[in-house]
Structure 1
């Protein structure tokens, strides 16, 4: 703001520095000229000439700016033209005017500097203690209101990104600890689950089981697994994923260890023990999803989930590799005793102070301030206050996107659980492998899935998601996850060469891994606050597919005399149905707040 005074032709310019535009949209600098004219005529004694009006801006604690008027009272300088004036009088009046103008300049400049410091402090607080640069402050002062607001928004985004980059550059982060613990938990989960698919061969010989009985024993796990899917999601969203996941690991480890004793008592106790083991494993996936939704930002979601689900694949690999030598050297009960005891080590570390993470970043005592600030700015549900009090069941079940996840989870898991539980039997009965060769050959598809899951997740997060958005990314990835296995399983009955059959199964599982960047990442896209509950709903449908698919496979094989073509045909049909539903109903946008 420029103020100019005149004293008989003498101009006294006064320039005030511009103040940055604030969110309220006021003009940052108004070029106003308020002359104070000392004249010899009586007309100079007007109200406008009696007062000097200085304008300044003062920022409040809310970040908005109020415009106040500082009226500096001035004594009217009356110099009548009829009265002669002396040079000393003129000099005196000039000194008075100059002094008052200097006072005004000093007052406004001081307050302006104070307000600039307040605005800098507010920006530091708003941007999580990341001070803006001098160039950025200068740019804000010279931009018009709309451009300044855009610049402030861009500055905030850049600073959030810089915080994330700085946190990642520090090395190991707390959210990486969360993902690692979940990885190991899922590794133990599948080790304890897949050991039955190998042990079932000597157990069937010892107890004289038929294919139908073997299918019943393997499907009994899913009875308990189905019961706790939704319950695990509700408990995780209310009590926190840490407690629920810890309970699940302790529970299933216990019943894994007592499985041989239950089998010695008879078929009924064995089925009950396997069902109780499923109860513990049923809460693992909802609890993990709850932890990831609170610890992992959206731009890292596919990769983090791929790493967690890689634990399942690695657990299948280790379980299939370790079971045959343990069975040969000791006996099949040793597999269950050893695998069950590994859960005790995980539980001790999970609940150890300073090692295991908390349910949310706000409760964690080890996380750095920078990472906590980054998660608060980038995670949809990063604190306890955002947790829902009541689950909006009607809102969830009324959305087509929710039903797309539920139905497609059923279609996907039918084929997945058949391959998980029946692959060693397929190698043994169809390809003529012994127990060693069956287990080792069954490992290869899971190795393929582990590799492809991380490749697909990286492509989804770094290539597809930034360029095409969440909806197209999820649809493309899940379509590959459905259509790829469908093609491979269609060709499998026509193949008699073991090497080619194994290659088709590896390709099927490798392409199936794209589902982890499609279906399995979509829960947090459409309902991040209820991700645990939503995963419980969809995984219930997936477990139901495991119960029906595993049992139906045994019944089909027994009725057809060991013809696997019908087994693969049912899986292919469900893959095609799932593709149609997914492309029609799914979305990557949030549908439930």
Structure 2
């Protein structure tokens, strides 16, 4: 009977207790009773499937079967034929764990046991940033019916939009210091819970009056302000240098997809349940994320008792960040030219980015004539483009570094695209004669902007890996100031001028940033 399974005995050493940071290893040995014999004339098929993912630091283990193709009495493998000839340890690079079901059929080890833990941290950060922008952009859609209900003019709308940045500004440097000293896990958890509660309270505050709404929006900014420094601290400890651009691009693409999600679902919720439903539904998602984060995440690989030894070795062999620091070398940080180039360029970049983030639905509504639903849906395209471009740019940047390009050159090339691309496409908006072309220009502007994730947004870990949280907090403070002034200034310009003037200011800052970045930035470590 062809395909008959051979009875074999599996020997494994006695069970060992799992200890922190250790794997429960088993050696697989094929053996039989001492007086059994192997019929050498029979046709045997031995199937062993192993995959070694050395670049991920993970061994994928799959089950195996031994079957005979001839009618015969059961065959057995002798002890002498067992492990030596197959050399399991050489195949696996270490002791392996194999599994089979009650029928003896092979099955894959669950993916969650194989998936690299460092990328679990990256994906959780990605989801936090997705929630971050969902909760941030919902106001840009809800502000349209809210303005009608509460009779707000453009200046008041600009004030409300900018109030978020008042709180966001306060926690940039503080969040970086906090993350670098106590670890990013607790800081990011605090931020998500804080901004989620503030999001839920937004409709209540709006009905109480404008001052209450401004305070709640500022409180929301406090929570979101710690997210970037905490994330940067976490990735500097968990992610090797060779995966830096890809990991950061993935996390920041969570922001873009958060904008997509918020802009796509907000109009539906507003039409179906009223504008307060947007804040109640989006804000409640933060509690779910926090529960998962607290159970799965650790601030450092050293703190994770379930981290595989292979992956821990890979992380510590290729990372550059040390454990939490006790003091911040402010004099050294602030005396470096590349640090000030990073701060200045962050300001130039965020001016245009935050204008588009907060005012794009209004532009589509007032200039292109889209209704509320159309404004939300057409706003999705630029953010989808950014999500794609950010990951494409991350892959290109890491590939160029692996091919021998200097990190400095790669950062300058990627950021130049991130500055000059938006400048060019925004300059075309005054010349297009159809809404479709205007939407396309917006999408291309945002898509090229996303290459900045492999430029200035990766540079903090390049030049000061131990203090990346503090440095991001410092540069993002300048970026937040751009958001505060840019968002408020846009409201003022629109009340007294036109959209062309709004875009001209952004274009000028993009060009200034390009010059400063290429003259003074570096990709080398300058602060130990």
TM-score (norm 2): 0.79
Report the CA distance between 1:464 and its aligned residue. 4.5
Distance in 2 of aligned mates of 1:404 and 1:466: 27
Match of 2:507 in 1: 572
Per-residue CA deviations over 1:482-534 (Å, capped at 9, x if unaligned) read 00100001111121310110111111011011100000000000000000000
Report the CA distance between 1:553 and its aligned residue. 0.2
| Unaligned runs of at least 5 residues, structure 2 | 1-51, 62-113
Residues 1:190 and 2:127 are matched in the alignment: no
For 2:121, which of 149, 162, 178 is the aligned residue? 178
For 1:226, which of 150, 166, 169 is the aligned residue? 169
Distance in 2 of aligned mates of 1:292 and 1:502: 34
Residues 1:393 and 2:330 are matched in the alignment: yes
Distance verdict in 2 for CA 1:400–1:313, change over 3 Å: same
Q: Any residues of structure 2 matched to 1:292-441 within 5 Å, and which?
A: 292-352=235-295, 356-381=296-321, 384=323, 387-441=324-378
Distance in 1 of aligned mates of 2:506 and 2:458: 22
Distance in 2 of aligned mates of 1:479 and 1:364: 39
Distance in 1 of aligned mates of 2:213 and 2:130: 23
Distance in 2 of aligned mates of 1:369 and 1:221: 43
Distance in 1 of aligned mates of 2:505 and 2:224: 27
Match of 2:109 in 1: none
Distance in 2 of aligned mates of 1:570 and 1:465: 38
Distance in 2 of aligned mates of 1:309 and 1:429: 29
Distance verdict in 2 for CA 1:168–1:498, change over 3 Å: farther
Match of 1:167 in 2: 58
Match of 2:216 in 1: 273
Which of the pair has the greater relative contact order for Cα pairs under 8 Å at 6+ separation?
Answer: 2
Match of 1:531 in 2: 468
Report the CA distance between 1:167 and its aligned residue. 2.4
Name the count of aligned residue pairs. Answer: 425
Per-residue CA deviations over 1:402-455 (Å, capped at 9, x if unaligned) read 011100000000000000000000000000000000000111000111111111
Distance in 2 of aligned mates of 1:266 and 1:184: 32
Per-residue CA deviations over 1:529-581 (Å, capped at 9, x if unaligned) read 00000000000000000000000000000012xx1000000000000000010
Report the CA distance between 1:388 and its aligned residue. 2.1
Distance in 1 of aligned mates of 2:58 and 2:176: 30
Match of 1:87 in 2: none
Distance verdict in 2 for CA 1:256–1:162, change over 3 Å: closer
Distance in 1 of aligned mates of 2:230 and 2:402: 26
Match of 1:459 in 2: 396
Distance verdict in 2 for CA 1:465–1:555, change over 3 Å: farther
Distance in 2 of aligned mates of 1:395 and 1:463: 30
Residues 1:206 and 2:149 are matched in the alignment: yes
Match of 1:152 in 2: none
Report the CA distance between 1:461 and its aligned residue. 0.3
Distance in 2 of aligned mates of 1:199 and 1:456: 32
Report the CA distance between 1:169 and its aligned residue. 5.9
Match of 1:258 in 2: 201
Report the CA distance between 1:400 and its aligned residue. 0.6
Q: Any residues of structure 2 matched to 1:480-495 within 5 Å, and which?
A: 480-495=417-432
Report the CA distance between 1:282 and its aligned residue. 0.1
Q: Is the 8 A contact 1:164 1:371 kept in 2?
A: no
Report the CA distance between 1:381 and its aligned residue. 1.8
Report the CA distance between 1:225 and its aligned residue. 0.2
TM-score (norm 1): 0.71
Partner SS for 2:214: helix
Distance in 2 of aligned mates of 1:165 and 1:543: 36
Distance in 2 of aligned mates of 1:544 and 1:537: 11
Report the CA distance between 1:163 and its aligned residue. 5.0
Report the CA distance between 1:351 and its aligned residue. 1.2
Match of 1:499 in 2: 436
Partner SS for 1:322: helix
Q: Is the 8 A contact 1:163 1:374 kept in 2?
A: no
Quick check: which has more Rg, 1 or 2? 1
Report the CA distance between 1:463 and its aligned residue. 2.6
Q: Is the 8 A contact 2:240 2:319 kept in 1?
A: yes
Residues 1:583 and 2:518 are matched in the alignment: yes
Per-residue CA deviations over 1:334-361 (Å, capped at 9, x if unaligned) read 1000011000000111112xxx121000
How large is the RMSD of aligned CA atoms in angstroms? Answer: 1.3
Distance in 2 of aligned mates of 1:523 and 1:168: 32
Q: Is the 8 A contact 1:465 1:473 kept in 2?
A: no
Distance in 1 of aligned mates of 2:456 and 2:239: 18
Match of 1:140 in 2: none
Q: Is the 8 A contact 2:126 2:251 kept in 1?
A: yes
Q: Is the 8 A contact 1:225 1:279 kept in 2?
A: yes
Report the CA distance between 1:389 and its aligned residue. 1.5
